[in-house]
Chain A
């Protein structure tokens, strides 16, 4: 089955700095990579995703890059703000065809943005 490794487990930055979280996956057939943000005591929420036919995707201050050859993808947050503080999860899935849609999650990264 798929295995997703996420690094770092904790990340501390100053407000205004950039933050980068990296994930690697094992199944070369995985073709969809969502990222979730989970604030303390809240449910995970999808913040951005990328499909395997795209190398980069941006949405305001967040961006995700994908390197299919190396089987890794990254989340980039620029101009971080205190409200970006949360746990971030990457995930991978082989979607389409007979796939039954089981997301495999990374272990999570606790991001703390200091004012």
Chain B
């Protein structure tokens, strides 16, 4: 039981490049989330999903897209990376909406 697994752990992009972050959970959770963490700003919700095939916008969705084609996977895409998207990204999952298990995080730098 690996819990919530994120790949990659680190990535450096140039402005304008695209990339996809993968989150996988093996706990059969319905709910999955993508957060970004910036110094002094806590964790801010980017997008979330309440089930396979469904996604919704969170607090800071601009510049990101997501997909939940399989229940266990939640992908976060950056189509054209910007320096403002330099951050640490955390994926999380939960069963009953209230307790979230976090992945180890992806540290992204956009130059």
Contact = CB atoms under 8 A, between A and B. Distances in A.
Interface of A: 6, 9, 32, 34, 42-46, 49, 89, 93, 95-96, 99-103, 105-108
Given A34-B98, A43-B90, A45-B102, A102 B48 contact: yes
Interface in B1-59: 31, 40-45, 48, 50, 56, 58
Interface of B: 31, 40-45, 48, 50, 56, 58, 90, 94, 96-100, 102-105
A101 B99 CA distance: 9
10 residue pairs, one from A and one from B, having the closest CB atoms: A101-B97, A43-B102, A105-B42, A105-B43, A107-B42, A95-B98, A32-B98, A108-B42, A44-B102, A43-B104
A1 B96 CA distance: 20
A46 B104 CA distance: 14
23 contacts: A6-B42, A9-B40, A32-B98, A34-B98, A34-B99, A42-B104, A43-B104, A43-B105, A49-B98, A89-B43, A95-B97, A95-B98, A100-B31, A100-B48, A101-B48, A101-B50, A101-B97, A102-B58, A103-B43, A105-B42, A105-B43, A108-B40, A108-B42
A53 to B, nearest CB: 14
Given A49-B99, A107-B42, 20 more contacts: A6-B42, A34-B99, A42-B104, A43-B102, A43-B105, A45-B102, A46-B99, A49-B98, A95-B96, A99-B97, A100-B56, A102-B48, A102-B58, A103-B45, A103-B100, A105-B42, A105-B43, A106-B42, A107-B40, A107-B41
